[in-house]
Amino acid sequence: MKTRLITREGFNKLKAELDYLWREERPEVTKKVTWAASLGDRSENADYQYNKKRLREIDRRVRYLTKSLEALRIVDYSPQQDGKVFFGAWVEVENDDGEVKRFRIVGYDEIFGRKDYISIDSPMARALLKKEPGDAVTVETPLGPALWYVNEITYPDA
């Protein structure tokens, strides 16, 4: 089960995508489908086939975004979070081999296309919640337990 939380920044990005698809891309593709359909034989009309498929993809994404935006709960930064890992935090961790990772803990809907974002539902994020700089955490991985140390915690709005 996915945790239905999102940062305000992530929410605004999804909302902008929905607005763009609905107000700009969908009407444009609909025009192309209408134009291609007016040419006659649709079975061999690549323009018609491609744009009809694109229209289905847009509609599917619009339905997903509409349902998601209704269900998601925006979590804003709060000063009480300072010094501890909570939702929305940028966290830097290091292991005994000197490997350093830096990422932001966000909602599932925000992680796509970002290598530096991890889901609140991931084992790493779950292990880090409420930790402070200097704390050690054990993260269960497919290769067994991994030990990480919290170096730094920052919040974008702090």
Q: Residue 132: which of 92, 88, 77, 105 has the closest Cα? A: 92
Residue with tokens 């229209």: 55
d(CA 137, CA 43): 59
Q: Is 5:125 a contact under the CB 8 Å cutoff? A: no
Q: Is 9:114 a contact under the CB 8 Å cutoff? A: no
Q: What is the pLDDT of residues 86-142, one digit of tens each?
A: 999 999 999 999 999 999 999 999 998 889 999 999 999 999 999 999 999 999 989
Indicate whether this model's pTM tops 0.85: no
Distance of CA 5 to the CA centre of its chain: 10
